[in-house]
Amino acid sequence: MKFSRFLQFAAIFMLMTLALSSCQDDDPYANLKGTFSLTDSTVDGVDAGPVGGTLVFNNDKTGTIDIDYVVGATQFSLSGNFNFTASDNTLTLNPGASDEEVWTRVEDEKNKQSFAFDVPQAGALKGVVLIFTK
């Protein structure tokens, strides 16, 4: 009888622990801090042309970007300082500004971040994914 009561208590405790741990929000900024190198890209799911540059996220939600990537036959460059906000699935550079960039977060790991966005080209939208590593 005592053992049965113990099992009931243990089961309830485990369920409560599981329920409460699933309620915790992950910090969307935790894996962003530091300097990342642009190492690869895809356009519409296919490996794209040459890429290069860095993306730096500071603790105070500021950063710098200096990257080059290719979509089709067009080379794109982004450079400068920015402020940013992050959620579980988006990164917004310069929120609310005329040069705001909203990227969808594809991977969120300590040493790897991947972001997706669309680029208009030749009357169509091309799906770009930029892959950054530390």
pLDDT digits (tens, 9 = 90+) for 1-53: 555 555 454 455 455 555 544 444 589 999 999 999 999 999 999 999 899 99
What pLDDT does 24 receive? Answer: 45
CA 26 to chain centre: 13
- Residue 17 is assigned to a structural domain of this protein: no
16: left (phi over 0), alpha (psi -120 to 50) or beta: alpha
Residue in the block written with tokens 């860095």: 54
CA 103 to chain centre: 8
Name the token pair of 44. Answer: 């519409």
Is 2 strand, coil or helix?
A: helix
Q: How much is the pTM? A: 0.79
- Residue 6 is assigned to a structural domain of this protein: no
What pLDDT does 82 receive? Answer: 97
What pLDDT does 108 receive? Answer: 94
pLDDT > 90 fraction of the chain, expressed in percent and rounded: 75
Name the token pair of 117. Answer: 């966005």
- Residue 66 is assigned to a structural domain of this protein: yes
**Between these two residues, 81 and 11, which has the higher pLDDT value?**
81
| Overall domain count for the chain | 1
What pLDDT does 88 receive? Answer: 87
Domain residue limits at 112:
34-133
Query: Between the CA of residue 95 and those of 52, 84, 117, what are the distances in Å?
Result: 24, 7, 15
What pLDDT does 5 receive? Answer: 54
- Residue 23 is assigned to a structural domain of this protein: no
- Residue 80 is assigned to a structural domain of this protein: yes
CB 54 within 8 A of CB 63: no
- Residue 120 is assigned to a structural domain of this protein: yes
What pLDDT does 26 receive? Answer: 81
